[in-house]
Chain A
Amino acid sequence: EPEVTQTPSHQVTQMGQEVILRCVPISNHLYFYWYRQILGQKVEFLVSFYNNEISEKSEIFDDQFSVERPDGSNFTLKIRSTKLEDSAMYFCASSERLSTDTQYFGPGTRLTVL
C-alpha cells in the first residue's frame, strides 16, 4: 500500500541553525501539508501546498518557515533559524485530488532544538 515517508526520523540541531525536513508524498497525490505536534499538545496545521504554491498557512508559519517541492517526488519544510520552541514532531501529509480528500500522514520527524 502506498505511504507517505519522512526523513530523518529524528533531527537534533542547535538553536539558530537551519533544518530541512523531507517528505515523499504518495505518488499520485496533488495536495501536500505540514503539521506539527509539540509534546503533549494538539496536532497543529502549518501549511498546505498545491500546484507549486502555498494554499493556506497558519500564523505559526512565519518568515522562518518555507516549503518547496524541488522535484516531482519530494516536499520539504525548511526552518531557517531554529528556536527552542520549534522542538516538536513534524508530520507531512498528502491527499489525492480535492483538498477535502482524505489526508494520509507520514510517520513524522522529531525535531529537537538544543
Chain B
Amino acid sequence: GEDVEQSLFLSVREGDSSVINCTYTDSSSTYLYWYKQEPGAGLQLLTYIFSNMDMKQDQRLTVLLNKKDKHLSLRIADTQTGDSAIYFCAESYGSGNTGKLIFGQGTTLQVKP
C-alpha cells in the first residue's frame, strides 16, 4: 500500500542549512509536497514539485526529487529560528485523480540560536 516515511527529528544551528528527507512508495504520484506546521496551527503549503522534475528552487527552499529511488528532500538555506516547525512530506496518491494526499509522519525541525 501507499506509504511516506520521514525521519522524526532534526536539529540545526541558526544560519546552517537544513535537509529534511522523505521516501515514498507510489510511483504514479503526480505531485509531491512539503507542508509546514507551526505549534497549534494548520498546514501551510511550502512548496511542491511535479513528478517529472528533478529540482525546484524557491528562495531559501530547494526541493530535490530522485524518482528512481522515490526520494524527496527539502533543503532550507540559512535556517532561521522562525523555521522551527514540523515539516510534512506528502504525495498525491493514485492514478484515479481523486486528490488524496498521503502524508509522512512529519519531521520536527529545531533551530538553535
- Please tell me which one of the listed residues A55, A100, A105 contacts residue B43 in the complex, with CB atoms under 8 A apart: A105
State whether A42 and B43 are in contact (beta carbons under 8 Å apart), knowing that A56-B96, A102-B33 are contacts in the complex. Answer: no
Q: Which residues of A contact B30 (CB under 8 A)?
A: 100
Q: In the complex, A107→B40 CA distance in Å?
A: 9
Count B interface residues, CB 8 Å: 24
The answer to whether B106 touches A103, judged by C-beta atoms less than 8 angstroms apart, is no
Q: Across the A-B interface, how many residue pairs have beta carbons closer than 8 Å?
A: 64
Task: Answer whether A33 and B42 are a contact pair too, CB < 8 Å, given A43-B88, A102-B31, A102-B48.
Answer: no
Instruction: Tell me if A31 counts as interface (CB < 8 A to partner B).
Output: yes
For A44, A101, A105, the residue with the greatest tally of chain B CB atoms inside 10 Å of its CB is A105
The residues of A that contact B104 with a CB separation of less than 8 Å are 42
Interface 0/1 of A40-51, CB less than 8 Å to B: 011111001000
Q: In the bound complex, do residue A35 and residue B101 qualify as a contact, i.e. CB atoms below 8 Å apart?
A: yes
Q: How far is the CB of A26 from chain B (nearest CB, A)?
A: 12
Fill in one digit per residue for B7-43: 1 if any A CB lies within 8 Å of its CB, else 0.
Answer: 0000000000000000000000011010100000111
A25 proximal to B (CB < 8 A): no
Q: Does B52 contact A (CB under 8 A)?
A: no
Q: B55 in the interface, Cβ–Cβ < 8 Å?
A: no
Most buried by A among B31, B33, B48, B100: B100
6 contacts between A and B (CB under 8 A): A43-B103, A55-B99, A95-B99, A99-B97, A100-B31, A108-B42
